Amino acid sequence: MNNFPIVHINKVYHIGRIDNSRKRKNSYEGSGLSISNHPNAWLKISDRDLESSLYEFVKNDASFLDFHELNAVLVDEMTKWGLEMGYILCATLYRYTFWHGDLDEEASILFQTYEEALEESNKDEEAIEQIDGFIATEKMNKKVFGEPSPIDVIDLLSTLFAEHVLKIDGVWWDDDLDISALSAPRGVIFNSKLQEWTRTERDFNEVEYEEEY
């Protein structure tokens, strides 16, 4: 087992219900508890108000897989495990690459069919590239409580790998803090680990956060 990147975060926040049975399908963080360390930023991104429930979770020396620090070798190890476990399948995908004006950089979207990519690209065939990738199986869909797109399948596979192989608290995505781009750092605590965390209900005005995004 290679050394997977681990980040230790001892205090995080969750906005909304704790009842996992009412969690929406197709969460970007899978079936666990979605968390952040910038709750006020996520309050704006999710277009909620200050009356929303806010919970603080604390655990000494909590460990998360640092998703954005995974290199190609580690992703390969993780996907081989996913294939062996029947969570993902190899597939031919179609990548549409375009200039994202809001981000001022190139962006891409993955599709399972050429027709979908062609429609999204407004018939720009030169912007579409055929690549090898992965898609989720029904077994994975049941585990992550959703149907991951080809874009999200590795992110959600990482939640299964971190819980069942690394046996840590969760996964952390250190995304850019940019409310205008609907982006902020986020993570997930696995349901199997929640009982190890101390939970306290908080008020948004009590939470320290960065003023500038």
**Average model confidence (pLDDT) across the chain:** 91
Does residue 211 surpass a pLDDT of 70?
A: no
Phi-psi category of residue 2: left, alpha or beta, with phi > 0 → left and psi -120 to 50 → alpha = beta
Structural domain boundaries of the chain?
6-70+158-206, 74-144
Alpha-carbon gap, residue 197 to 47, rounded angstroms: 27
Query: How distant is the alpha carbon of residue 95 from its chain centre?
Result: 20
Q: Is the pTM of this model over 0.85?
A: yes
Residue 206 has a pLDDT of 78
Does residue 50 surpass a pLDDT of 70?
A: no
Residue 212 has a pLDDT of 41
Residue 208 has a pLDDT of 64
> Under a CB-based contact definition with an 8 Å cutoff, are residues 171 and 67 in contact?
yes
pLDDT bucket at 105, cuts 50 / 70 / 90: confident
pLDDT bucket at 21, cuts 50 / 70 / 90: low
Of residues 169 and 102, more confidence is placed in 169
> Under a CB-based contact definition with an 8 Å cutoff, are residues 160 and 144 in contact?
yes
* Strands of 67-127, DSSP E: 88-100, 105-111
Q: What is the pLDDT of residues 126-173, one digit of tens each?
A: 999 999 999 999 999 999 999 999 999 999 999 999 999 999 999 999
